[in-house]
Structure 1
């Protein structure tokens, strides 16, 4: 899990606490602690798995579940808008742990849960590492305007990609790799007021929830902090799917 080491923005920006979500900052703070505290040794050695209970009633907050947008036209989302489970990811393209999740865990979640309609993944740009983070966040949004967000996401999180930086020429190269058809429009969109507003909207939501590091996740309102092992996410998703099924069955 990554956090800014000396970002003035992260030190001075007030945390936004909205009505009904005042508990969220403490929740995500606890999740961050559980994700990073020394693990108790086991027979197989130490485990870094977050403490995610299989009981769907534990650790899930309806106020946070409401942060899922479920917008069928959202280019920064994968899966059915009416999927029973929504995983929201707050991430930075300069975050190494976000890249680890993108390369190792997310493809498995897509294969196992998105493809069968159980899961929807909604991306939130949460740049916390300065100007390049902001620039690549806007560029990802611009790629999404031409239907290539996830291809850009894959290219930007490829092994060794972040070490090359995210200057203008590099962003254009990533767009070409992602198959963005109109590079002129891509550059213009990425530098637009609309792009800045879209990134700020995601960023403000992350700060409002108390997120201070990346990646941070919500699974149907259940916070998970850090690039946890696959089993942490599968357990949370399956518990959430079970709870959603029971809720749907109880609805007249």
Structure 2
């Protein structure tokens, strides 16, 4: 079974563009789960341009599935995710004001740092995932950190998919096989959509979770949130 975790950052982006509390991030958290999402993902950034620190603490009591928090493992970020007892923390190598995640970790260059971070998270009972490119060497480095999972950065797949889907999926199939051989579970995320999700799902049988935000929230503008979540769940069958 591949779980669908809905990233609600874009709900917060829309709210923040006007100020106030509409649309409600808390309502989005509750409704996504009610409509079938098997997890909630957020990516709080230091500038709070979408999810804020306050949101992180307000969302936690509403989680009935799994709470996945993405972010760069600064001291402040680690303190926050440990305080709220996230179910999973996905470590990303983003710079302070990066628009969106656009590359995975160099796991060998950052090996000692990642080992220390993951050790601290595991001591606090939090499952860990490292955001990586579909690069066997980087996955081998991830294994050395003792992470539970990797999250494959899937933007290259999504970009090539309309042109040559079989070529687009090849490095991700290979990456998933490498991870499986190293006994690391595999998540995936970034630019996955109703158009390309099912093809990835069919070709990577050991895919544990997909985290989808931008495309899913955009689809919900036209289809409604409940219908949209159901359509994404159908792609994972």
TM-score, with length taken from structure 1? 0.30
Larger Rg: 1
Structure possessing the higher relative contact order (Cα contacts under 8 Å, 6 or more residues apart):
1
Higher strand share: 2
- After TM superposition, the score normalised by the length of structure 2 is 0.31
